[in-house]
């Protein structure tokens, strides 16, 4: 009996020892496996001194450096005298590479095999998109022009001296990254290089200003309830219905329909590429109308959102409705401190809104200015047409040499002063004139954005075709 107990104790002790040893081995093997796996998937360390790598000496990865097609002996330093910058990199064995510009070094990912080679290519910095267009202007004086005209032997232009595409149909198409439902690029067109634009940080820079090539639909600029400006809207961009449709942070925007029900409407649908309800006014109808709208295949993509600069837009206007509407006055009025309500003398029924007026707005997406339309005129008519009041632009057939004209009514983002109405906004009419009209009407919406100053235009992928044409648009890197 005592012997049996002794044997049982030894057997149990051996089992405990075996289980413990097995557990230790298993944990050790798991830890080794984890470290091996982690070293290939999460991070990579390699011996490097002054940019020189010990090729496979003590590492599972090595780097080769190039300037163009020329192999370099070492990696260029951050502030190298040749002014070389990182262009791109490739790795074999399925690994991928990113570049940390702050730390000035490569980050390798998806490294699953040993003895992996990565090639890093350096080159002189490519011009920004703004620099690229400015270089084109040195030779293309037909379709690119700076603000202003020659008048009495003197160049008369704006203080900002912006560079713009002009004429009937210049090659200014650009693919900024959006795709439609079929995967085709949604084309925009370059208005020009705008100088002294203030961004959200308060810094001023030059930006590429682009406009959607086609309208995203006909929608109301702004609406209001019946006892506000007689139900015909308010000409203040910072609270306008169309602004809320185009920009973020209005996802919960609501209104009451004619039946008294609450509707979520113009709630950042274009920004979020969603479908929903939008304001639409049917002429000859007394009340506002809601219509179904769908931007799932025409809205702003996340790729494009990363390329947009948030800037201060000018929303000023003329001091009075009788001001001379020549091009320079229009440009300056848009940047003035005058708003669309200050001249409205009749309090009832069209001037009774209590909305605070602003002449600057911080945001991502706006519309064209009247001066953008004006300055886009080109060909031999440019000098004469820039001296024609915008209200008579079509009467002199200036629109026939203006690529922003599309034979439809188009909204601008500029309010119009009026002595009797506080809901007037400038629009481009179908016959080509630029005139003020009630904001409640539904006209073409063509979004306008400023691209970040760091964006670059890629090398022409089809050298046999004119770069910037509708069939071969500029492409952003």
**Structure confidence by residue, pLDDT tens digits, 138-185:** 999 999 999 976 665 666 778 899 999 999 999 999 999 999 999 999
Which residues contact residue 308 at a Cβ distance below 8 angstroms, ignoring those fewer than 6 apart? 300, 364, 365, 449, 450, 451, 452
How many secondary structure helices (H) and strands (E) does the chain include? 8, 29
Helix residue spans in 276-369 (DSSP H): 302-305, 327-334
Give the least confident one: 70-74, 251-255, 324-328, 420-424: 324-328
pLDDT at residue 284, as a whole number: 40
Local confidence band at 329 (pLDDT 50, 70, 90 cut-offs): confident
- Mean per-residue pLDDT over the chain, rounded: 85
What is the distance between the alpha carbons of residues 336 and 415, in angstroms, rounded to a whole number?
A: 12
pLDDT at residue 22, as a whole number: 58
CA distances for 94 relative to 110, 112, 393, angstroms: 7, 8, 59
Task: Let me know: does 223 contact 235? Beta carbons within 8 Å.
Answer: no
What is the distance between the alpha carbons of residues 195 and 84, in angstroms, rounded to a whole number?
A: 27
pLDDT at residue 399, as a whole number: 96
What is the distance between the alpha carbons of residues 274 and 300, in angstroms, rounded to a whole number?
A: 10
What is the distance between the alpha carbons of residues 73 and 343, in angstroms, rounded to a whole number?
A: 71
443 closest CA partner among 431, 428, 432: 428
The domain spans of the chain are 48-123, 127-477
pLDDT at residue 3, as a whole number: 34
DSSP state of 339: -
pLDDT at residue 438, as a whole number: 94
Mean pLDDT across 435-461: 94
pLDDT at residue 10, as a whole number: 52
Q: For the chain, what percent of residues have pLDDT higher than 70?
A: 83
**Separation of CA 390 from chain center:** 28
Secondary structure of residue 165 in the 3-state scheme = strand
242 C-beta neighbours (distance < 10 Å), count: 27
274 C-beta neighbours (distance < 10 Å), count: 15
pLDDT tens-digit map of 188-198: 999 999 999 99
189 closest CA partner among 207, 179, 176, 205: 176
- Asked if residue 355 has a cis previous peptide bond (ω within 30° of 0), the answer is no
**Separation of CA 192 from chain center:** 14
């Amino acid at each position: 009996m005592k012997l049996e107990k002794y044997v049982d104790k030894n057997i149990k002790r051996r089992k405990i020892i075996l289980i413990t040893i097995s557990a230790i081995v298993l944990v050790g093997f798991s830890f080794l496996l984890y470290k091996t796996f982690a070293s290939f998937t999460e991070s990579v360390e390699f011996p490097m001194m002054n940019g020189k790598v010990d090729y496979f000496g003590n590492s599972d990865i090595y780097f080769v450096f190039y300037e163009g097609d020329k192999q370099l002996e070492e990696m260029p330093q951050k502030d190298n005298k040749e002014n070389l910058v990182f262009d791109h990199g490739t790795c074999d064995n399925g690994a991928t590479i990113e570049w940390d510009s702050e730390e000035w070094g490569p980050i390798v990912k998806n490294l699953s095999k040993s003895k992996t080679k990565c090639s890093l290519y350096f080159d002189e910095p490519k011009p920004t998109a703004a620099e690229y267009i400015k270089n084109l202007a040195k030779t293309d004086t037909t379709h690119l022009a700076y603000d202003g005209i020659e008048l009495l032997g003197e160049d008369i232009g704006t203080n900002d001296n912006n560079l713009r595409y002009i004429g009937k149909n210049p090659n200014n198409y650009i693919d900024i990254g959006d795709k439609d439902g079929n995967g085709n690029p949604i084309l925009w067109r370059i208005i020009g290089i705008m100088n002294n634009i203030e961004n959200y940080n308060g810094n001023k820079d030059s930006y590429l200003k682009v406009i959607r090539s086609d309208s995203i639909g006909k929608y109301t600029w702004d609406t209001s309830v019946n006892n506000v400006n007689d139900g015909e809207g308010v000409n203040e961009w910072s609270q306008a219905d169309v602004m809320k449709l185009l920009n973020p942070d209005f996802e919960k925007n609501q209104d009451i329909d004619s039946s008294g029900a609450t509707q979520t409407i113009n709630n950042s649908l274009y920004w979020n590429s969603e479908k929903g309800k939008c304001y639409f006014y049917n002429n000859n109808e007394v009340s506002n109308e809601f219509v179904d709208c769908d931007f799932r295949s025409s809205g702003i993509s996340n790729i494009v959102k990363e390329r947009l600069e948030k800037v201060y837009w000018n929303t000023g206007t003329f001091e009075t409705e009788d001001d001379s509407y020549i091009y320079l006055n229009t440009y300056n009025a848009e940047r003035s401190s005058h708003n669309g309500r200050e001249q409205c003398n009749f309090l009832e029924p069209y001037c009774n809104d209590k909305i605070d007026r602003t002449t600057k707005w911080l945001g991502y997406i706006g519309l064209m200015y009247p001066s953008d339309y004006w300055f886009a005129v080109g060909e031999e008519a440019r000098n004469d047409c820039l001296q024609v009041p915008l209200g008579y632009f079509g009467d002199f057939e200036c629109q026939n040499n203006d690529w922003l004209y599309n034979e439809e009514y188009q909204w601008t983002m500029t309010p119009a002063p009026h002595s009797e109405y506080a809901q007037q906004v400038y629009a481009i009419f179908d016959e080509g004139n630029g005139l003020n009209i009630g904001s409640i009407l539904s006209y073409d919406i063509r979004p306008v954005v400023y691209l970040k100053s760091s964006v670059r235009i890629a090398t022409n992928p089809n050298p046999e075709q004119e770069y910037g044409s509708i069939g071969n648009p500029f492409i952003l890197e």
